[in-house]
Structure 1
C-alpha cells in the first residue's frame, strides 16, 4: 500500500473543493440573515421554522422534519426554544402522543 501523499494534489483539492466553498457561502448567508433579523431577537433558523409551521398546516414534527430536511432531534430542540419564547404552542394531535405546532400571535407578528 502506498502511504505517500501527493501534497500538490491535496492542496489542489483543498483549494478547489466545492463542498467547502458551498458550506462557507452558506455560513456567510446565514450570518447576513441573522444580522438582519437581530432586531426581532430570532435567528434565521428559527424564522425558517416559524414560516414552515405557518405554511405546513399539519404542524407535526415528522411533517416539519421532512419539509425542512432535518433530523427530528435537532428540530425538537428548536421547537422547544420557540415554545419557551412564546412564538409557538404545542397542542395534542389526533394521536394522544402526537403534538401539532401552531404559531402564537407573537409568532405570527414575527413573520408578518
Structure 2
C-alpha cells in the first residue's frame, strides 16, 4: 500500500465519520442549553433528572441510568451534587437496598424557574438544527426508544 493512500483514509474519517459529527453536534447543542441554564447553576443532565423526578415522583438510580443513558459514576456525582444543593432528598423506596430520591420544594422551584429558560434554549437549538434536523432527530429517538 502506498503512503498516498493512508492520508485519504484518515481524511475520510475526519470528513465523514458519523460518530465524530454527532459528538461535535452534541457539544454545540448542549452548550446552548448549559449556557442558558448557567445563571441557575444547572446543567442539562441535572435538568433532565429534575424533570424525570417531577414526572415520576421518585428517582431510582437504575431507572435513571437506563432512561437517560447515564453511567453509574456520572449519575452518582450528579445525584450527590443535586442532594447537597438541596434539590433532591432521599426517599423511602420499596426495596431497602435502593436509595431513591425525590424533589424537594427547592428542587421544584428550580425546575419551574428553568422551564422558560429551557424553552428559549430549545428554540435556539431548533433554529440551529432546522425543521428537518429536528424532525430527523425526533424520528431517530422514537425508533431507538430514546424517551423518558
Q: What's the TM-score bracket when you normalise by the shorter of the two chains? A: 0.7 to 0.9
Contact 1:53–1:64, Cα closer than 8 Å, also in 2: no
More helix by share: 2
**1:55-101 CA distance string (max 9 Å, x none):** 23342111121111222222111101100000000123122231121
Task: Name which structure has the greater RCO, CA cutoff 8 Å, separation 6+.
Answer: 2
Q: Secondary structure at the match of 1:93?
A: coil
The residue correspondences of 1:88-107 to structure 2 (distance < 5 A) are 88-107=88-107
* 1:40 equivalenced with 2:40 (yes/no): yes
CA separation in 2, counterparts of 1:60 and 1:40? 24
**1:13-59 CA distance string (max 9 Å, x none):** 21111211110010011111011111211111211111112223342
Structure 2: which 5+ runs fail to align? 113-148
Q: Which residue of 2 aligns with 1:29?
A: 29
More strand by share: 1
TM-score (norm 1): 0.87
Structure 1: which 5+ runs fail to align? none
